[in-house]
Amino acid sequence: MPVLGRVKQAEPAHLVLLARDVSRVQPVIDQINDTLGSSTKVVFVPINLDDLESVRAAAAEVSKHLGEEGKIDVLINNAGIMGVPYAKTKIGVESQFATNHLGHFVLTQNLLPLLRRGRDVRVVNLSSNGYLVCPFRPDDVNFDDGKAYDPLSGYGQSKTANILFTNGLAKRGITSFALHPGLIRGTHLSVGIDLRIFASINEITKKNTGKEFGSVDQPKTVEQGVATTIVAAFDPASGGPVRVCFHRMPQVVGASRGIGVELAKHLAQTPGTHVVATMHKGFSLELPNVEVIQLDQSKTDSVNAAARKVKEADTLIVNGAIGEDELLT
C-alpha cells in the first residue's frame, strides 16, 4: 500500500478508523502498523452511518480515545452507499441521503470541538461527479416518499449535499474539500448495484437539471482513486479555508513546442491523469493520456471552440505566445 508512505510523512500520532465491521478493517490496521510502526496508535471505532444514535456514540468514543486535550487535524468522511432501491432509515429519511450526507454531517458536528483544537485542520468529504445527476431537494429529500425516486437521483442528491456541507464548513473557517475520486474498481460501493441503471443516466440527469450527464469516467484502481483524498488531506499546497471540489478533470496545457511539450509529457506520466494539449494547426503530440485540441489564441472563434471541448479542468496552464519571427506586420 504505497499511499501509506504519504500518510507516514505526516507523522500522525493517532489514526482512528470508523466502519461497521472490524473484520473488514483489521487487514488495513495490520498494514498500517507494519508501515507506520509503534509511533502511530491505530484505533477502530464501530459506526453505522444511517443510524444517528450510532454516529453520536462513535463520536463520543473517538473523543474518549483521544482524551480530554485531544484534537483532530484531519477528518476524512469516506463511507457511503450507491444506487440502492428506495428505503428509509428509522428516522424516516431516504437511505442514500441519510448515509452519504446526514451521517457524516452529524459525525463532523459532534467532532467539531476536537477539530477546533487541531493544527492545520482539514475536513475531506468524498463527493462524486454524481452530483451532476440531481440537485439538493430541501423541500423533498424523500422524493415524494419514494414515488419520484430513482437510485441515481438519490445518489446525486446526497453527493450535492456533500458539496454544500463542504462549502458550509469552509465559510466557518475550516479548510474543507469535496472531491470526486473517480470510478474505482475493487471497492464495496458497487456491490449489489443493478448496472443497467446507468444506461439511463443522461435521461435522468436531463429530467432533473435540463442537461445531460455526459460520459462516465474510465475506471481507476484503488491506489489511483485514493490519491486525490491523500492530496486533499495532507498536501501543504492545498491549504487555506477553501471551498474546493476535486474532480477527475483533465490538466490543460499549451503544448505546441518547447516548455509546453515537456510539461504535457510530465503531466501525462501521472496515473489517472488525462492531459489536454492545446496546439496550433500543424503541430501534433502522440502520448498516452493526451488529447490534442487545435487552438489559435489570436482568433476568438478558435478560443471559444477549444473552451467548449474542455468541459472540466482542475489545472489550466496558459503559456501560449508568439516569438519575434511570428509577429504579424
Q: Tell me which residues are annotated as active site.
A: 155
For residue 277, what are the β-bridge partners?
Answer: 253, 292
- Centre a 10 Å sphere on the Cβ of residue 209 and count the other Cβ atoms it contains: 14
Q: Please give the DSSP secondary-structure letter assigned to residue 94.
A: B
H/E run at residue 16: strand 14-19
| Structural contact between residues 303 and 281, judged by C-beta atoms closer than 8 angstroms | no
Residue 168 CB-half CA count within 13 A: 10
Determine the 3-state secondary structure of 116 from DSSP: helix
281: exposed, middle or buried (Cβ count in 10 Å: 0-12, 13-18, 19+): exposed
| Structural contact between residues 20 and 71, judged by C-beta atoms closer than 8 angstroms | no
CA 270, CA 294: separation in Å to the nearest integer? Answer: 23
| Structural contact between residues 251 and 287, judged by C-beta atoms closer than 8 angstroms | no
Q: How far is CA 13 from CA 9, 27, 49, 75, 283, in A?
A: 12, 20, 25, 14, 52
CA 88, CA 99: separation in Å to the nearest integer? Answer: 10
Q: What is the DSSP secondary-structure string of 194-231?
A: -GGGGGGHHHHHHHHHSS---PPPPEE-HHHHHHHHHH
The x, y and z cell numbers of residue 286, run together, are 502522440
Determine the 3-state secondary structure of 168 from DSSP: helix
